[in-house]
Structures are given as structure tokens and as C-alpha cells.
Amino acid sequence: MMAAAVGTTLSVGSAISAGCKPGPVTLQKTMGVKLNSASRLSCFSGLKAISSVSGGQEASFLGSGSLAAIQRSFVAKAGERNQRSYMQLQSQASFKVAVLGAAGGIGQPLALLIKMSPLVSALHLYDIANVKGVAADLSHCNTPSQVLDFTGPSELASALKGVNVVVIPAGVPRKPGMTRDDLFSINAGIVKNLVEAAADNCPDAFIHIISNPINSTVPIAAEVLKKKGVYDPKKLFGVTTLDVVRANTFVAQKKNLKLIDVDVPVIGGHAGMTILPLLSKTRPSVTFTDEEVQELTVRIQNAGTEVVEAKAGDGSATLSMAYAAARFVESSLRALDGDTDVYECTYIESDVTDLPFFASRVKLGKKGVEAVITKDLQGLSEYEEKALETLKAELKGSIEKGIAFANKQPVAVA
């Protein structure tokens, strides 16, 4: 369990069940929140999720931003009891999330983190095998969302019916002897099939693509949705949050800063040299030497390899990816719930460069991307300007590869 910040104690597990009678999960339950002070709910995780462009609001995954969402989503019934340290709130958890690939190395911890969200009423877990045990395990967690499992293609449509957010971590990691083309062909096909099902069963949902290579799989998803006649570029996201999470962590460590205060926008794509942390735009403002810029940029770009080597070939970045993806899900849910101060970096169809897809900071709202924050790309350092021009050729090739793949494939009929 994440530790609470000074002055606030909130247990996502036990507190949510406080005052609830045993029984089936419903959309409205009473939740107890125990406060150690009379001050408003504040950040408790110390893991920063987003910050506004003006830098005015602190927020973190299941932190102040989410607690603000709790305050909006849980109607106060306390009356005069607001003066007490124990408040009764009415739950309005109302969003359905589907995780496709929920039994995998990313899917399992991701499902657990999403289960913790007070905004989720139903969590649909889908995989081709081994998902029943994951669902049974998670269903014992005393948080509001109901967990349902779905196994195999015959149950995929049911997993997606009425879902608000679809998260796709499904796919295979690169294995010894497997070429990048082999990996692309397998994961591209998986993403295509899953997005087709989403188009048929929840065409208005936010779709979060995690399956690598994101630089290609997001364009594939876009082409599939176009062929299905339901493409909304504002609702299709490549989850690049892990690059931001790493950048924030590494900069905080390097400069001995409070992690909760650090925000580094990351643009470009989500592979190697296409990942470009804008260290010159770091908040709070901090000075880097040329050597530090080079060192941090390379480490952020190659952080996945750092994990693979540390695991001695026995896995990749699954836990940090799950955390980053859960953070992006939480941001999406907050936006859907009406929060007007939600910003994240994400890989989307974009016109901020001459490339059709590009990762940059966006403002999220109820209908998806409300605005692309172009000022992040203004006044770049000389190093960043050169790196941006260099990454474009690599990213362009990946985008074209994805589009070409999608256009060669027949569209499945629902």
C-alpha cells in the first residue's frame, strides 16, 4: 500500500469498505475516509501523475488529483459531521474499464492498480488463457469495482460491451532468436484483432495502446478504426507515460529534488532514439550541464534495456509499465469524470510536426484530447532541436510500417 502524506490517512482498501454491508458490488456504496487533520484531502502517494501547464496544481496517481475526483464523485452526506475527523461519502464509481491481456506480466499488476481506483465500477479482464484465477484473486480486494473475467475470442465481445476505457497490453515480449520483424508481425496482428473488436462493441471508448512497438501499433489501430467507420483521433492513445515516469525519477535522483515536484515532458515516440525528454522544460526549473543532458537523455531512451539486463534476460519492464499505464488510466477516468485540469504526454495523431503521429503533452477532457500543448516544443535547446530532427526519420518509418500493415489486412466483419 502506498504511504500517506503528512496530515492525511486514506486506506483505499479498508476505508472504502467501512460502513458497507457485505454483498454484491453496486454503483453506490458508503465510503469512510479518515482524516488526521481538518485540512482538505491532499496528495498521499508522492508519485506525481500530472501537472497543469501553469504548474498550479499538484496531482498524483491516486494522489491529490484522484482525491479531488473522489471528492467530486463521492457526494458528502455528513452535514455537521464535516467538522469531525470521520466523514461519510457516497460513492459514484461509474466507469467500466477493460484490460485486454490481463493475465500477462503487465496485465496483472495493471489490473490490480486499476482495481484500486475509486472511479471504476467494473473491471473486465480478458485474455486467451489463465485469466479466471487473476480475476478471482483481484475480486477479493475490498475496493468498489466488480471484477469479471473473459477468456478467448468467443468472449471478447462481451468483455468490451459498454466499456468506457479499453487498455491493450496484450502481446509478446521479444525472445531470443526473434527478430524485430517477427515481434512486429505478432503484436501488430494482436492489436489489429483487439481494436476491431473494440470498434464493434465500444466505439466511443478511449483506447489505450501499450503493445509494442507503439510507434507502429497506434497507426495500425487508427487505420482499423477508420475502416470500421468509428475513428475518433481524440480517443486513441499510445501510452508513453513510462518515459515521463522515468524522466521524472532520473532527474529527481540526479538533481536531488523532491520527486513530487518534478515534471519533465517527453515528446516524439516510444522507442530508443524517438524518445526525447525535454530537459530544458523541466519543472521546477533546473540547470543541466551538456554532459548531464546527454547522460540523462540516453538513460531515459534505453531504460527498458536497463531493466532487461537487470532481470538477466528473464523479463522486461512490466511493473513500471503497469504503474505508468495505471496512471494514464486514472488520468483518463478523471477527465471523463469532469476534471478540467488533466494533462499527460501521449502518442496520438498530431499536427504539431510534419509527422502524422507524435507524442507530446495534451489536455484531456470528457471527449478525449481537448488540446495539444504546443508551447512545450517552443524554445527548445540546441541539443533538443537536433535530436528532434534526428528522431523524425526513424519515427516516420515506424508509422509508415504500421499503416502499410493495416492496409494489407482484411477487416473482420462483426
Grid coordinates given for 327: 496512471
Quick one: CA dihedral 188, 194, 197, 199, positive or negative?
Answer: negative
How many Cβ atoms are within 10 Å of 306's Cβ, its own excluded? 13
Instruction: Name the β-bridge partners of 402.
Output: none
Distance CA 157, CA 59 (A): 35
Three cell numbers, residue 289? 550541464
Q: How far is the first Cα of the chain from the last one, in angstroms, to the nearest whole number? A: 42
Distance CA 85, CA 375 (A): 43
Catalytic residue among 124, 140, 208, 270: 270
CA 294 – CA 288 distance, rounded (Å):
10
Identify the residue whose cell numbers are 510536426. 353
C-beta atoms surrounding 176 within 10 Å: 5
Cα gap 235→232, rounded to integer Å: 6
Whether 270 is catalytic? yes
Catalytic residue positions, numbered: 270
